[in-house]
């Protein structure tokens, strides 16, 4: 079956390293995945596998010592790693929202809940400005991106030459001829770079000039439209005031006078509502969103402080804040680990409901396969900075292929006994020295020689299911998944069949 769904976000060949005193940490090593409209993609893996680093890269909030060494993150045709800062701010927290593990640290303890929800709305409350920005946004982004692309192209080229220069400086030479050859090579590259820089500059400047002209034109049109809108709002108001005045002309009793004043006031409020997001409107919207995320008595809760909320309620508020911007993608990084089990289930249900109602795309990060089962449409299993297997949820749960996925499945506590069946032996590798080959080999009883030498490619299991394990190579010996896993799959399939029979 070919995927016909709309792709909202796609991460391609992402490589993220961190500079540390002990060396370079290879946190994310060539990660690629797509997120489709209205689906939940769960990223699952042990602590340190690179889940949070991947999501932070999408949000553009990586630590200062991070180096994005390769890859791109495409959102609506733009590479988030290349877009201008301006556009990035528009996307982050607006089109793409994020909920973190600890709701307390994302709330300000000394600011009332209501204010924290309305803050962002009131910060950009000028509807005329919003209208203007909206009208010019496409052209502005286009223009800015062209400049950003130019800088990226030049900087990337420059970085390679800097790296070469650094490498040659460290190199020890056997003879003078070798050194001279290297120096010539470097000089050639430097000459080439000069040309490249000039050509790139010329190429993009020409393009940018055209786009700037277009932008100026659009800005002029947008100004005119905004002016017309403002004018029409004012005219409408004047007309209303005139009507009210004529309606109440010659009144004398105080009741009538009060009504007259009331109507004038309403007309003014109506006018202001068209020009600004007023405090009252922001509050209305906030209370509506608080209701949406299941806060009881939202009018009362609106005036309270975070400490007056339970952990679960705080997480609901964090979700509410993320929703005020109407995001298209919601990244949830272990949003329930700090909560107890019943509350956890409620929050998961809430996220599922909101996702369905708003047709959101969700990236849900967890180390808990039990949670995955409740949330995921598709699953990506991460180990040591790589996705080792991905597929539809049922493919991962009923037809897992990678020994690491088997290990994860054997380690979920049993639903009935709540007992952890089998801990995964050993520990994840030190990511300063990621192993060659399949990083899980050292902990896997199914490892073959090749697993220690060569990185397995993604073998196709189905159109939607891929796994990076040499076990799927045609030359590999036939290996069955561990009995404990196949037994669980059998039991859950039987239970599902029984349920279905009961329902029919
Ligand atoms: N700023 C940093 N400097 C150095 N190393 C870092 C930095 N941030 C993350 N790392 C390392 O990157 C690797 C991946 O970390 P990440 O936070 O993505 O793990 P995770 O899968 O989210 O784990 P957890 O389940 O514990 O949240 C880890 O080895 C971590 O130590
Ligand atoms: Mg994490």
Shortest-distance atom of ligand 1 to CA 66? 1
The CB of 49 under 6 Å from ligand 1? The reply is yes
CA distance 486 to 453: 29
CA distance 135 to 140: 10
The CB of 53 under 6 Å from ligand 1? The reply is yes
What average pLDDT does the segment 35-40 reach? 95
Shortest-distance atom of ligand 1 to CA 62? 1
The CB of 331 under 6 Å from ligand 1? The reply is no
Residue 479 DSSP one-character state: -
| pLDDT digits 0-9 by tens, 426-438 | 889 999 999 999 9
Find tokens 């540390």 and name the residue: 20
Nearest CA to ligand 1 atom 31: 48
- b/e sequence 158-168, b meaning 16+ C-beta within 10 Å: eeeeeeeeeee
| pLDDT digits 0-9 by tens, 266-282 | 999 899 889 998 898 89
The predicted structure's pLDDT at residue 140: 82
CA distance 76 to 9: 7
Element (H, E) at 330: strand 329-333
Degrees to nearest 5, angle at CA 59 with 56 and 65: 45
Contact between residue 331 and residue 58 where contact means Cβ atoms under 8 Å apart: yes
| pLDDT digits 0-9 by tens, 144-178 | 778 777 877 887 788 788 878 878 887 888 888 98
Nearest CA to ligand 1 atom 17: 52
Give the pLDDT band (50/70/90) at residue 2.
very low
Ligand nearest to the CA of 61: 1
The CB of 429 under 6 Å from ligand 1? The reply is no
Ligand nearest to the CA of 386: 1
Distance 154 CA to ligand 1 centre (A): 30
The CB of 27 under 6 Å from ligand 1? The reply is yes
DSSP 157-209: HHHHHHHHHHHHHH---SSHHHHHHHHHHHHHHHHHHHHHHHHHHHHHHHHHH
Q: How many CB atoms lie within 10 A of CB 9?
A: 23
The predicted structure's pLDDT at residue 420: 56
Shortest-distance atom of ligand 1 to CA 54? 18
Does this model's pTM top 0.85? no
Helix H segments across 248-278? Answer: 254-275
The predicted structure's pLDDT at residue 1: 42
What average pLDDT does the segment 203-207 reach? 90
Residue 449 DSSP one-character state: G
β-partners of residue 79 are: 74
Q: Give which of 335, 328, 322, 417 is closest to 371, Cα–Cα.
A: 335
Contact between residue 468 and residue 438 where contact means Cβ atoms under 8 Å apart: yes
DSSP-derived 3-state class of residue 281? helix
Distance 191 CA to ligand 1 centre (A): 40
Can you give the C-alpha Rg of the chain in angstroms?
29
The total number of residues shown for the chain amounts to 504
The CB of 410 under 6 Å from ligand 1? The reply is no
Top mutation candidate among 17, 27, 424 for ligand 1, by most atoms within 8 Å of CB: 27
Element (H, E) at 498: helix 483-503
- What value does the mean pLDDT of the chain take? 89
The predicted structure's pLDDT at residue 104: 67
HSE toward the beta carbon, residue 413, CA cutoff 13 A: 8
What average pLDDT does the segment 356-375 reach? 91
Contact between residue 75 and residue 12 where contact means Cβ atoms under 8 Å apart: no
Contact between residue 16 and residue 67 where contact means Cβ atoms under 8 Å apart: yes
Q: Give which of 86, 92, 49 is closest to 73, Cα–Cα.
A: 92
Sign of CA dihedral 202, 208, 213, 214: positive
- Pick 141 or 42 by higher pLDDT: 42
Ligand nearest to the CA of 100: 2
Distance 284 CA to ligand 2 centre (A): 35
The predicted structure's pLDDT at residue 253: 84
Distance 102 CA to ligand 2 centre (A): 11
Element (H, E) at 24: strand 23-36
β-partners of residue 332 are: 99, 364
Q: Give which of 457, 261, 334, 289 is closest to 56, Cα–Cα.
A: 334
CA distance 135 to 424: 55
Contact between residue 324 and residue 285 where contact means Cβ atoms under 8 Å apart: yes
The CB of 31 under 6 Å from ligand 1? The reply is no
Query: Percent of the chain having pLDDT more than 90?
Result: 56
Give the pLDDT band (50/70/90) at residue 488.
confident
């Amino acid at each position: 079956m070919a995927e016909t769904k709309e792709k909202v976000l796609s991460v391609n060949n992402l490589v993220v390293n961190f500079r540390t005193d002990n060396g370079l940490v290879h946190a994310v090593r060539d990660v690629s995945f797509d997120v489709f409209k209205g689906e939940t993609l769960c990223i699952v893996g042990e602590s340190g596998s690179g889940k949070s680093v991947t999501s932070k890269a999408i949000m553009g909030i990586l630590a200062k010592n991070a180096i994005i060494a390769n890859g791109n993150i495409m959102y609506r045709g733009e590479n988030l790693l290349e877009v201008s800062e301006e556009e990035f701010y528009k996307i982050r927290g607006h089109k793409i929202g994020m909920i973190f593990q600890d709701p307390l640290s994302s709330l300000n303890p000394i600011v009332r809940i209501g204010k924290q929800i309305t803050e962002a709305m009131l910060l950009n409350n000028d509807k005329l400005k919003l209208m203007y920005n909206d009208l010019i946004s496409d052209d502005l982004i286009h223009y800015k991106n062209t400049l950003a692309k130019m800088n990226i192209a030049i900087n990337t080229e420059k970085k390679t030459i800097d790296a070469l220069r650094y490498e040659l400086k460290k190199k020890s030479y056997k003879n003078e001829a070798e050194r001279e050859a290297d120096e010539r090579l470097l000089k050639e590259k430097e000459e080439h770079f000069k040309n490249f820089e000039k050509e790139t500059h010329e190429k993009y400047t020409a393009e940018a000039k055209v786009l700037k002209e277009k932008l100026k034109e659009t800005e002029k049109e947008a100004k005119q439209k905004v002016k017309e809108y403002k004018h029409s709002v004012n005219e409408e108001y004047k007309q209303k005031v005139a009507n009210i005045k004529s309606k109440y002309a010659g009144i004398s009793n105080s009741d009538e006078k009060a009504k007259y004043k009331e109507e004038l006031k309403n007309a003014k409020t109506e006018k202001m509502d068209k020009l600004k997001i007023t405090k009252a409107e922001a509050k209305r919207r906030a209370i509506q969103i608080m209701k949406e995320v299941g806060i009881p008595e939202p009018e009362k809760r609106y005036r309270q402080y975070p400490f007056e909320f339970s952990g679960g309620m705080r997480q609901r508020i964090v979700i509410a804040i993320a929703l005020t911007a109407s995001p298209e993608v919601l990244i949830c990084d272990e949003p329930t680990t700090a909560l107890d089990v019943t509350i956890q289930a409620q929050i998961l249900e809430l996220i599922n409901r909101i996702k369905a109602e708003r047709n959101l795309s969700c990236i849900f990060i967890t180390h808990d396969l039990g949670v995955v089962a409740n949330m995921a449409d598709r699953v990506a299993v991460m180990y040591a900075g790589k996705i080792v297997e991905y597929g539809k949820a049922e493919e991962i749960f009923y037809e897992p292929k990678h020994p690491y996925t088997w290990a994860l499945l054997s380690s979920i506590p049993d639903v009935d006994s709540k007992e952890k069946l089998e801990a995964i032996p050993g520990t994840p590798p030190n990511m300063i020295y990621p192993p060659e080959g399949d990083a899980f080999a050292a902990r896997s009883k199914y490892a073959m020689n090749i697993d220690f030498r060569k990185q397995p490619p993604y073998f196709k299991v189905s159109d939607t299911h891929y796994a990076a394990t040499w076990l799927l190579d045609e030359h590999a010996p036939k290996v069955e998944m561990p009995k404990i896993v196949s037994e669980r799959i059998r039991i859950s399939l039987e239970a599902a069949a029984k349920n279905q029979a009961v329902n029919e």
